[in-house]
Amino acid sequence: MQKTTLVKFLAALLVTALAVPALAADTIKLGVAGAHSGDLAAYGLPTKDAAEMVVAEINAKGGINGKKVELMIVDDQCKPEIATNVATKLVSEGVNIVIGHICSGATKAAIGIYKGAKIIAISPSATNPPLTKSGEYANFYRTIAADDDQALLAAAFATDTLKAKKIAILHDKGDYGKGFADFAKAAIEQGGKAKVVMYEGIQPGAMDYSAVIQKLRNEGADLLIFGGYHPEASKLLSLMNKKKIKVPFIGPDGLKGDGFLKIAGKDAEGVYATGPKDVSKLPLNTKAHADYKAKYGKEPGTFFDQAMAATVAALNAVKVAGGTDYDALTRALKTSLVDTTIGKIKFDAKGDAEGVGFSVYQVKNGAFVEVK
């Protein structure tokens, strides 16, 4: 009887494994990959919403070149090993173009699989510089500027506008935060206008950062650049305020959002953060935000604008190329200018969107305001 149990088990396994969704013919398959569950879901879900909105609108108008667009949404939880699995899933099921992934690490893990299958991926949020600048991933595009750009901006702002002389740089040891910190450090050292007096990683999620703050004061830093996300930033700020350490604080675009304002509360006041250029005045952007609010009853989350732009650009390329041929799509993405929520964009030779960039923002009265 043991045998039958085992056989049943294996049979069940097989049935599950074989239950591949029937391949619907004649649609354009648009993959959406990112973190939709887990800690980083807040960064991935807006992209899913954006893609759904764009595709719903296009399908309502009859699709592209007479074909409906079909979304294939997969969750990578921002984990590299899951990303490779969902990427093979997309490839296996015949995806034509992918919007994603969200995190740089997951993107790096997945992009090779798309490359092997000649599929283009456009990320709204993977800001790790080598993704485009190394030239290794010809099939990768993004609608957000790379980390080194914002780090350069942050460094210049610190030394030129705020005239800081002794700069402390902290980071959360993560891919994103440390990348930002490293580029800022290099830029400051190269600029020669200020000294980096402290450069250190902190343990994300730790209970207490008071030691590192004491050190900051001990080194006599007159400005702090932080590479990382909002929870650690607000914890640092809260402790700095309690210890009455008042130095300007500059963070990357990971801080520029409601998450940071919500959690840091009054500690956020006066904090600087770099972030994508203000595009909220663009008519397309205003419309997209209004539509979103009408549909979900709240403001869209992080990377929503970039995701809208990525989806629109992808589908525009399909339209211009007249199909989903890899070479034709590549040509279309690099030549055809398309109007999006982040402005009129096309992609440069390496895959970065031309015309997107960063500005510096400051928190004033509980909201980010662009510093002119």
Partner 1 sequence: MAHLKRSFGIGLWFMFLTLPLVVVRVNTLSQEVQWRWSNLLWVGVGAFAIAWFWQFSINRRAAGRASTVADKPSLAQRLADDPVLSRRVLLGAAAVAIVFPWLVSTGQNFYHVNVMVSALIFVVLGLGLNITVGLAGLLDLGYIAFFAVGAYTYALLSKNFDLGFWTCLPLGGLMGMLFGVILGFPILRLRGDYLAIVTLGFGAITKIVLENWDTLFGGAAGLANIPRPELFGLLLDGRQKSVYSYYIVLALVALTIFVTNRLKNSRIGHAWMALREDEIASVAMGVDMARTKLSAYALGAFWAGLVGVVFAAHNNFINPDSFTFMDSAMVLAMVVLGGMGSILGVIIAALALKLLPEYLRAFAEYRMLVFGAVMVLMMIFRPQGLISDTRRKYDYDGADGANGEGDHGGK
Partner 2 sequence: MDFQYLFELLCGGIVKGSIYALIALGYTMVYGIIQLINFAHGEVYMIGAFVAFIVAGVMTLSGYSGLTVLLLAAVVAVIYSAAYGYTLEKIAYRPLRNAPRLSPLISAIGASIFLMNYVQLAQTPDFLPFPELVPEFEFMAPIERYLSSADLVILIVTTLTMAALTVLIKYTRIGKAMRATQQDLVMARLVGINVDRVISATFIIGSVLAAIAGVLIASRTGQINAAIGFVAGIKAFTAAVLGGIGNVPGAVLGGLVLGIAETLGAGYISSAYEDVFAFALLVLILILRPAGLLGKAVKQKV
Binding site for partner 1 (CB under 8 A): 1-3, 5-7, 9-10, 13-14, 16-18, 20, 37, 75, 79-81, 84-85, 88-89, 91-94, 104-105, 108-109, 112-113, 116-117, 128, 136, 173-175, 178-179, 201, 203, 258, 261-262, 265
128 binds, among partner 1, partner 2, none (CB under 5 to 8 A by kind): partner 1
Instruction: For residue 293, state whether it binds partner 2 (rule: CB under 8 A).
Output: no
Q: Which is nearer to partner 2, 114 or 260 (CB)?
A: 260
* CA dihedral over 312, 275, 372, 158, signed as positive or negative: negative
81 binds, among partner 1, partner 2, none (CB under 5 to 8 A by kind): partner 1
Residue 109: which residues within 8 A CB-CB, separation 6 or more? 80, 81, 83, 84, 87
Q: Which is nearer to partner 1, 273 or 312 (CB)?
A: 273
Instruction: For residue 255, state whether it binds partner 2 (rule: CB under 8 A).
Output: no
348 binds, among partner 1, partner 2, none (CB under 5 to 8 A by kind): none
Q: Position 88: which residue type? A: T
Q: Which is nearer to partner 1, 18 or 60 (CB)?
A: 18
280 binds, among partner 1, partner 2, none (CB under 5 to 8 A by kind): none
Least separation in angstroms between residue 41's CB and partner 2 is: 7
In 3D space, the residue among 223, 226, 228 whose CA is nearest the CA of residue 194 turns out to be 223
Cβ atoms of 145 and 134 within 8 Å: the answer is no
DSSP state string for 273-317: EEEEPP-TTSHHHHHHHHHHHHHHSS---TTHHHHHHHHHHHHHH
In 3D space, the residue among 236, 170, 247 whose CA is nearest the CA of residue 209 turns out to be 236
Helix (H, G, I), strand (E, B) or coil at 96: coil
**251, 259, 275, 343: which one binds partner 2 (CB under 8 A):** 259
112 binds, among partner 2, partner 1, none (CB under 5 to 8 A by kind): partner 1
Q: Which is nearer to partner 1, 158 or 212 (CB)?
A: 212
Instruction: For residue 231, state whether it binds partner 2 (rule: CB under 8 A).
Output: yes
Contact range with partner 2 by CB under 8 A, out of 110-118, 143-151, 235-243, 332-340: 235-243
DSSP 141: E
Instruction: For residue 262, state whether it binds partner 2 (rule: CB under 8 A).
Output: yes
> Would you state the structure tokens that stand for residue 97, as one six-digit string?
């173009």
25 binds, among partner 1, partner 2, none (CB under 5 to 8 A by kind): none
217 binds, among partner 2, partner 1, none (CB under 5 to 8 A by kind): partner 2
Q: Which of residues 201-230 bind partner 2 (CB under 8 A)?
A: 201-203, 205-212, 214-215, 217-218, 230
CA angle 259, 261, 264 (to 5 degrees): 100
15 binds, among partner 2, partner 1, none (CB under 5 to 8 A by kind): none
Cβ atoms of 280 and 289 within 8 Å: the answer is yes
Question: Per 3-state DSSP, what percentage of the chain is helix, strand, and coil (rounded to 5)?
Answer: 45, 20, 35
Residue 231 CA to residue 237 CA, distance in Å, equals 10
Residue 10 CA to residue 15 CA, distance in Å, equals 9
Residue 179 CA to residue 162 CA, distance in Å, equals 22
Q: Could you list the residues that contact partner 2 (CB under 8 A)?
A: 38-39, 41-42, 173, 200-203, 205-212, 214-215, 217-218, 230-231, 234-235, 238-239, 242-244, 259, 262-265, 267
